[in-house]
Amino acid sequence: MDDDPEMGNVLETLLARCGAETRSVVAASHALALLAHWRADLLISDIAMPEQDGYALIHQLRAIDGADARISHMPAIALTAYARREDRQEALAAGFDEYIAKPVQTPELLAAIVRLIDARDRH
């Protein structure tokens, strides 16, 4: 999820080249609607969003229970221009599993994805 469609396209292209099936949305409400019917393995979300920020989205996802509890445990990466140490701490405290500052470096992003998917598969 990123409110910049170009950034979403870049990430989709990168991940598709690695064999991932991706969906890109530009708002938290779209992400919630998509996740209600599409089983994603991982969420990559910007923090600064116009309607609802990434913190609000991750709080909503982590609070889901019942039949959709799989969503509440989905690995999530905060991918953001907020690059201070406090921003990293806030993102992780909010419920993101990884934090990556923009501009994203491909090896760093791919390594984070592999760590999260491997950790999920071990549980």
Whole-number Cα distances in Å, 33 to 48, 57, 122:
19, 12, 28
- pTM (2 decimals)? 0.93
Per-residue model confidence (pLDDT) at position 67: 66
Separation of alpha carbons 73 and 80, rounded Å: 21
Widest pairwise Cα distance in the chain: 37
Residue with token string 């870049």: 10
Contact 80, 4 (CB under 8 A): no
Contact 18, 112 (CB under 8 A): no
Mean pLDDT of the chain: 92
pLDDT tens-digit readout, 18-71: 999 999 999 999 999 999 889 899 999 999 988 899 999 999 999 987 767 778
Domains in the chain, CATH or no CATH each: 5-122 (3.40.50.2300)
- Strands 76-80 and 43-45, how do they pair? parallel
